[in-house]
Chain A
Amino acid sequence: MIHPFYALLIAVFFLIGTFFVFSPGKGLLGRIQRYKRIQDHICREDILKHLYENERQDKKSSLHSMAGALNISTERTADLIQELQHTGLIQLQNDHYILSAEGRDYALKMIRIHRLYELYLSEQTGVPEAAWHTHAEIAEHEITPEQAEAISDQLGNPRYDPHGDPIPSADGFLPPNRGLWLTDWPENEIGRIIQIEDEPVNVYNIIREKDIQLGIQIEQVRREQEYLKLIANGRKVTLPLIAAGNIRAEVLKQAAPITDPPARLRDLQSGEQGVVIALSQNLRGSERRRLMDLGVTPGTIIRNELVSAFGDPVAYNIRGAAIALRHTQANLIYVKKLGAEYEAAS
């Protein structure tokens, strides 16, 4: 019989080899997959999208800007551009490239798929927000128009994606943006944030760091040099203009100013009670519906009833039943604390 030491040695080498091939992402298979992702047709589609974005922002697109945006060599970009010109999707105008009518249609279709897919991820899967964009970037090249229509149908033909961006319709109509950019906001109005651009990523990250989310109530918006000062859900926030320019809000006609930042369900200590004020917009899709089904609606009185062995989840008494929720969910439910004495009245 083989000496156990050698047997172990061989097995360990074997395992390392297997790991090298199959390890997700970094393994051989992962690399091959990634290589596929930079195939020609994907690059071509990305060029169209790049042109569309630039045209929307009145920027000009050159060979170099495209090569830079796609992170591929100029030679390859030149080849791809030539192909696109042949098929009539883009044209050269003076010194820069523009989309033809078909090219624009094509780009809009991709944007439609991208945004639909993000909405699908947000509504019907547990994929976290940070990963939507990456998933959608892959999906937009893979999903066929028929599949896209099926997704749209299933979602009830939505018009806005989870960031509040309009989704182009199947025949290329772009629904209007709602509300106003924060940079144009009238100082005395109270409003609600309805759209946050998720690109460029660094700006989006600033917005997220400030904990600005869809559905938040804003008031007392003032411009001070390069900054916008405002009160968001009762909390003072200072936003760089570049970030404020990526946020839209709609005017709320009858809204009371929010004076204190509300507590979260998660803040209730064992035995404490609170009354639900609102559910964050970050509770979406089936998750939001499930919570409402369980009786978490504005006005409901909830008590922290039981803490689990590891501290998370916590069971809350909601309309007579103990319902266990994880902290991540309890963090998205705004409440007003009632204190433990409230018990007698409930």
Chain B
Amino acid sequence: MKPHPEANCASCPAHNTAQLERLGVDMTEWDYAIALAGNPNTGKSTVFNALTGLRQHTGNWPGKTVTRAEGGFSFAGKRFKLIDLPGTYSLLSTSTDEEVARNFILFGQPDVTVIVADATRLERNLNLTLQILEITERAVLCLNLMDEAKRHRLQIDERTLSKDLGIPVVPASARVGIGIDELLQRIHEVASGQFVCRPHRIKYGNSALQKAVDQLAEQIAGKYPQLFNTRWMALRLIEGDARLREAVAGGEIAGLVHEQQTYAPAESGL
């Protein structure tokens, strides 16, 4: 299967999977790097498998994936590198088990972050989603496990959700391949800049905190004008995030300003 030229794809969503070429572990020369993030046990590895044709282990318990896995696919003439991450509940915590995911989302600078969320527990999944939207401008929410949501007779208005979050929202049931077409389409749109995200930003209730964040963010922006998520950095520095302190002290932070980066996040173990 040869990837079609880009022009065809927007008009023919029905044939999207026909354009999908699963590249497995072949990831030479990729155009876009896509990270799969999300709470534990939401189906990230299942989505990964559906897109790359690989067989990452999946299992119905939180913590099945503990190391990062990479695979590739090509779509609409572009080559994508996909990174499956361990699940994480939050980017704000300090626990070591979630370090791999946290560091990658923060410092890996993927071109698009696909957030895989459990549609049956939207509220708790939005916690992480909102945090991720604080640090990236390019994200897609994959609302997975829609079949389970149906079983629980939940109705989800993905348009409102998409408007509120400012990013594309794709309902899916990854295990049976439903929604993968649209997910591909949206990833491509966001990666290529056809869709510009306007991510939701958290409003800090505590006004002293708001002031402190503003003050430090201004300083950071003064020093590193190209950084766009200064607010988040300020917040994390005030909280005392050791990894970010290190990045600031060691000057690594300067490397985060470039749009597209070859990334080498601090890796632990495998």
Which A residues contact B (CB, under 8 angstroms)? 124, 153-158, 285-286, 289-290, 292-295, 318-321
Contact = CB atoms under 8 A, between A and B. Distances in A.
Given A153-B242, A156-B239, A156-B242, A320 B124 contact: yes
B120 A293 contact: no
B93 A290 contact: yes
A316 to B, nearest CB: 13
A153 B248 CA distance: 12
Given A153-B242, A156-B245, A319-B124, A293 B92 contact: yes
A157 B241 CA distance: 11
Interface of B: 89-90, 92-95, 120-124, 127, 239-242, 245
A125 to B, nearest CB: 11
27 contacts: A124-B94, A153-B242, A153-B245, A154-B242, A156-B239, A156-B245, A157-B240, A285-B94, A289-B92, A289-B93, A289-B94, A290-B89, A290-B93, A293-B89, A293-B90, A293-B92, A293-B93, A294-B124, A295-B123, A295-B124, A319-B121, A319-B123, A319-B124, A320-B121, A320-B122, A320-B123, A320-B124
B89 A294 contact: yes
Contacts of A318: 124
A303 B124 CA distance: 16
Contacts of B239: 156
A321 B121 contact: yes
Contacts of A292: 90
B120 A289 contact: no
Given A286-B94, A293-B127, 10 more contacts: A155-B240, A285-B94, A286-B93, A289-B92, A290-B93, A293-B92, A294-B124, A295-B124, A319-B124, A320-B122
A161 to B, nearest CB: 15
Contact of A156 (B92, B95, B127, B240): B240
Contacts of B124: 294-295, 318-321
Contacts of B94: 124, 285-286, 289
A295 B245 CA distance: 27
A124 B94 CA distance: 9
Contacts of A289: 90, 92-95
Contacts of A157: 240
A155 B124 CA distance: 28
A183 to B, nearest CB: 30
Nearest to A124: B94
B107 to A, nearest CB: 17
Contacts of A124: 94
Contacts of B120: 320
B245 A286 contact: no
Q: Which 10 A-B pairs have the closest CB atoms?
A: A156-B240, A293-B90, A293-B89, A320-B121, A289-B93, A154-B242, A319-B124, A286-B94, A286-B95, A319-B123
Nearest to A318: B124
A48 to B, nearest CB: 30
Contacts of A294: 89, 124
B92 to A, nearest CB: 7
Nearest to A155: B240
B127 to A, nearest CB: 7
A118 to B, nearest CB: 17
A318 B127 CA distance: 13
Contacts of A321: 121, 124
A295 B95 CA distance: 16
